[in-house]
Amino acid sequence: GEEVAQTPKHLVRGEGQKAKLYCAPIKGHSYVFWYQQVLKNEFKFLISFQNENVFDETGMPKERFSAKCLPNSPCSLEIQATKLEDSAVYFCASSQTLAGGLEQYFGPGTRLTVT
């Protein structure tokens, strides 16, 4: 598609439950990025993929967070045993390779609320 799609739009989980978020990048884009927006404004990079391979995971919490991008499937970000502090909006972005890869195109986000 021509836009980055994210599902669900909203997700509510009780503390300790699992949360799974999905992202479909723009068709033809090889790179996928996940960002976490907390406190309304602050963005934190989590992880990026080049096709199905992890490209940069320097922002990924060591525990409870995992992500995948499998062929012919939406990418996913999973949080095991959610905590209150995981409440945030999670944005996915995609980019082309090489010369076109400077611009990242963002999806509308998934708002995760942990109660």
Partner 1 sequence: GDSVTQMEGPVTLSEEAFLTINCTYTATGYPSLFWYVQYPGEGLQLLLKATKADDKGSNKGFEATYRKETTSFHLEKGSVQVSDSAVYFCALSRGANSKLTFGKGITLSVRP
Binding site for partner 1 (CB under 8 A): 4, 30-31, 33, 35, 41-43, 45, 48, 50, 55-56, 58-59, 91, 93, 95, 97-109
30 or 82: CB nearest partner 1 = 30
Of 76, 72, 66, which is closest to residue 23 (Cα–Cα)?
A: 76
- Bridge partners of 42, per DSSP, are 38
Distance of alpha carbon 115 from alpha carbon 101, whole angstroms: 38
Smallest distance from the beta carbon of 53 to partner 1, in angstroms?
Answer: 12
Distance of alpha carbon 89 from alpha carbon 93, whole angstroms: 13
Smallest distance from the beta carbon of 34 to partner 1, in angstroms?
Answer: 10
Smallest distance from the beta carbon of 73 to partner 1, in angstroms?
Answer: 21
43 or 68: CB nearest partner 1 = 43
Which helix (H) or strand (E) element contains residue 59? none
